[in-house]
Amino acid sequence: MLEFFIQNAWAEETPSQGGGMMGLLPLILIFVVFYFFLIRPQMKQAKEHKQMVEALARGDEIVTTGGLLGKINKVGDNFIILEIAKDIEVKVQKHAVSATMPKGTIKTI
Note the pLDDT of residue 16. Answer: 63
pLDDT of 50-107, one tens digit each? 999 999 999 999 999 999 999 999 999 999 999 999 999 999 999 999 999 999 999 8
pLDDT tier at 24 (50, 70, 90 boundaries)?
Answer: confident
Helix (H) or strand (E) holding 95: none
Closest CA to 85 of 107, 54, 53: 107
Note the pLDDT of residue 17. Answer: 59
Does the CA dihedral 83-85-89-95 come out positive or negative?
Answer: negative
Q: Is the pLDDT of residue 6 over 80?
A: no
Note the pLDDT of residue 37. Answer: 94
Q: Is the entire prediction scored with pTM above 0.75?
A: no
Tell me the backbone φ, ψ of residue 64, rounded to 5 degrees.
-90, 170
Note the pLDDT of residue 93. Answer: 96
